[in-house]
Structure 1
Amino acid sequence: MLFCAAAPVFAQTSAVPLPTKRDGAQQVAQVATAAPADAAQKIANHFSSVKTMTGEFMQFGPRGDQAGGKFYLERPGKLRFDYDAPSTLKVIADGRNVAVGNGELDTWDFYPLSRTPLSLLLADKIDLENRMVRDVRQQSGLTIIVLGDKSIFGDQVITLMFDSKTYELRQWTITDAQGKDTTVILSNVRTGVEFGRSVFRIPYDQIMASPSSSN
């Protein structure tokens, strides 16, 4: 198992299905057409050039759960999700690991970033010639890029959806090994921002000192 139930952003709980069940990668595929390679690569290149992002997110999970909050992203490898109340969850990726904090239970769990599909989202760049690219297609004004590596993530994939005109990342869906989707939709996004060092700092001392935390 990649992530425990306390880590909704990755595919297990407290997230958000799209307007209908399994909207993410599968339903889009039914009506999508192949994206021109040059246009898709331009979008991938634009996304790779964006080194920092911040904004708001809404998350939909496979059980209909919904959560929102603020996110912070810095390429390569860094990401933070602060969930709005009543959730007490916090997710931090510092370039090496991903830590999931549960304020209510006072626990932390952490995992190697390289073993999660989020590492593909946070990579330096997206090369459409890379073997990790599973599919590229267009549908309803979106360019969809599906990434995965069976040797690392098994059947898990991450589906990135970009606005075909503005090249902006609109949302992503992580599909787990059981075929369940967790979708994150972005809004009010700002790019080119600067973050303090503490934003992506994982409290390793606190994690290691807590008897209820795991890795």
Structure 2
Amino acid sequence: MINKILSSLIISSLLLFSKPSICKEKNEDLFEIMRIEQYLNEITTLKSSFIQISNNDERLDGELFISRPGRMRVQYEAPSPILLVANGPYLAYVDSDLEEVSYIPISETPLRALIAPKIDLDRFFKLGEVERGLGTLAITLFDLEDKNAGSFRLLFADRPLQLKQWVLKDTVGTTVKISLLDIERDTELDEKLFIVDPDLFNRDEDK
């Protein structure tokens, strides 16, 4: 009987001490999420070179341009034939090898977390783990509706916050990691960067 009473007291005390700890951690996470949202919302323009690494060790280099709200250009260096341009509600996927331009609603891509007019992460995503490292802060995001959409992880240098990397991971384990280098903020960007000619690959057969 004494042992049962002692066990009950120990369990009760553990629960009492753990609840404030859980609440404190949750409050700290909410504070960090608010910091991330504020940082992203304060971006007007951003320019950066980047390195993209896939889990098959394929490397691609390129340049990233963001002009908020709503505009982004992901420009890969040769030999990649791919160019991504967001301007408004759609993301243009340009494949110069196939000579095709496809359009995807930006709302169906995780990139909306970077260029939406107002970035409110829990409106767009199910919020995952908030990770704090030595001089870094990261958050993992999941699609609210599609459980098969994988995850989108944002990594920041901390104090001051600066976006350094994002990682896309699908449900079968394929990952794409984009690391940003030489970041420039609030510089003037050419409007033409965010325009894709719809007739880009149309050829005049009479010529």
* Fold conserved between structures, TM > 0.5: yes
Q: 1:128 and 1:68 mapped to 2: Cα distance?
A: 28
Distance 1:125 1:159, change over 3 A: farther
1:171 has 2:165 as partner:
yes
1:182 has 2:176 as partner:
yes
Of 149, 153, 165 in structure 2, the residue corresponding to residue 155 of structure 1 is: 149
Of 48, 66, 69 in structure 2, the residue corresponding to residue 73 of structure 1 is: 66
Give the TM-score of the pair, scaled to structure 1: 0.72
Distance 1:116 1:39, change over 3 A: closer
Deviation at 1:153, TM superposition (A): 6.7
RCO higher in structure (CA 8 A, sep ≥6): 1
Distance 1:128 1:204, change over 3 A: closer
- What does residue 193 of structure 1 align with? 187
Give the TM-score of the pair, scaled to structure 2: 0.74
Deviation at 1:105, TM superposition (A): 2.9
RMSD: 2.4
Q: How does 1:23-172 map to 2 (within 5 A)?
A: 36-127=29-120, 130=123, 132=125, 133-152=127-146, 154-172=148-166
Deviation at 1:112, TM superposition (A): 1.2
Question: 2:50 touches 2:62 (CA, 8 Å); kept in 1?
Answer: yes
* Amino acid of the structure 2 residue aligned with 1:44: E
Cα deviations by residue, 1:137-184 (Å, 9 ceiling, x for unpaired):
212321112222231574322111111222000000111232321111
Question: 1:134 touches 1:148 (CA, 8 Å); kept in 2?
Answer: yes
- What does residue 23 of structure 1 align with? none
Q: Give unmatched runs, 5+ long, in structure 1.
A: 1-32, 211-215
Deviation at 1:203, TM superposition (A): 2.1
Question: How many residues end up aligned between the 2 structures?
Answer: 177
Q: 1:184 and 1:86 mapped to 2: Cα distance?
A: 17
User: Which structure has the greater CA radius of gyration?
Assistant: 2
Bigger helix fraction:
2
**Matched position secondary structure for 1:44:** helix
Q: 2:75 and 2:122 mapped to 1: Cα distance?
A: 34
Distance 1:142 1:194, change over 3 A: same
